[in-house]
A = this chain, B = another copy of it.
Amino acid sequence: MKEFENACREADLKVTHQRLELYRELAQAEDHPSAETLYKRLIKKLPTLSLDTVYRTLATLEKHRLITRVQTIESQARYEAKMDKHHHVVCSRCRTITDFTWDHFDEVQVPKAVVGWGKVIRRNAVLEGICKACARQP
């Protein structure tokens, strides 16, 4: 949390109550929440919080690379504060997004065609399937 405050100052972002609480909430969330979901959770602690502030803060923090927007095919954007290199497996049934690490993927060489394309800065694996909990259901 102190790290976050420093990162804000570093980026010339004021350390506001809203930013702190939003970051705290996102950092402890395991479920890659959407703006709307975060808003519902935060409103309990910050009764005057506006939904716009949630959107604006998420955009700001993403721009400064303090959080990440997760790639999905859903209509609502989803976010996470976890910035260590990791990947996602999404359950097609319940839409849960689960983290995992994959060192081999992070380090293996990309195809020659991609080298010719340009400079790759980030790589993400997105797996899709059926989680065990869902598999047990009819």
Contact = CB atoms under 8 A, between A and B. Distances in A.
Interface of A: 69-73, 77, 89, 91-92, 98, 100-102, 104-105, 108, 110-111, 113-114, 116-132, 134-135
Nearest to A134: B118
Contact of A120 (B89, B122, B123): B89
B102 A111 contact: yes
Contact of A130 (B110, B118, B132): B118
Given A71-B72, A100-B113, A108-B104, A129 B120 contact: yes
Given A123-B128, A126-B126, A117 B104 contact: no
A73 B32 CA distance: 14
B102 A71 contact: no
A124 B121 contact: no
29 contacts: A70-B73, A71-B71, A71-B126, A89-B117, A89-B118, A89-B120, A100-B113, A100-B114, A100-B117, A101-B113, A104-B108, A105-B105, A105-B125, A108-B108, A116-B132, A117-B129, A117-B131, A117-B132, A118-B130, A118-B132, A119-B130, A119-B135, A120-B127, A122-B128, A122-B129, A123-B126, A124-B126, A125-B125, A125-B126
